Amino acid sequence: MASIFTRIIQGEIPGRILFEDDVCFAMLDIRPLHPGHTLVIPKEEVDHWVDLDDATTTHLMAVAKKVGEAQRATITCERIGLMIAGFEVPHTHVHVIPLASMANLDFANADTKPLADALDAMADQLRAALS
């Protein structure tokens, strides 16, 4: 059965895609830890990131860096954080998170009901910064 991320990239489920190439895509998290929280996801479904081939791992990090640069250019924050947890969806995904504090890395503090208009506006800002 395809993961929710595969279903999003195949167009079965909507998602706020910010970037896509042959290897991966980046999209806003629908339960952001901080506004602008983005996931960088390989198109190949691999559960544990340590099982990715080296080229894909390197590519994900390069894309995550570009996303982080776009976040830093558009979002007021102290840092840009990076996390791979892997518990939520059995498909590798890198969290790229604008941080005001370490509390922004706690999934207990996720915004479970973000406003769609705010997500759309953030997606537009980050797409513009990425292009």
Cα–Cα distance for residue pair 26/35, rounded to 1 Å? 15
Partnered with residue 38 across adjacent β-strands are 28, 96
Instruction: Indicate if 93 belongs to the active site.
Output: yes
Nearest residue to 86 via CA among 47, 45, 40 = 47
Cα–Cα distance for residue pair 24/19, rounded to 1 Å? 8
Active-site residue, from 37, 59, 91, 93: 93
**Residue 40 parent element (H or E):** strand 38-42
Residue positions annotated with a catalytic role: 93
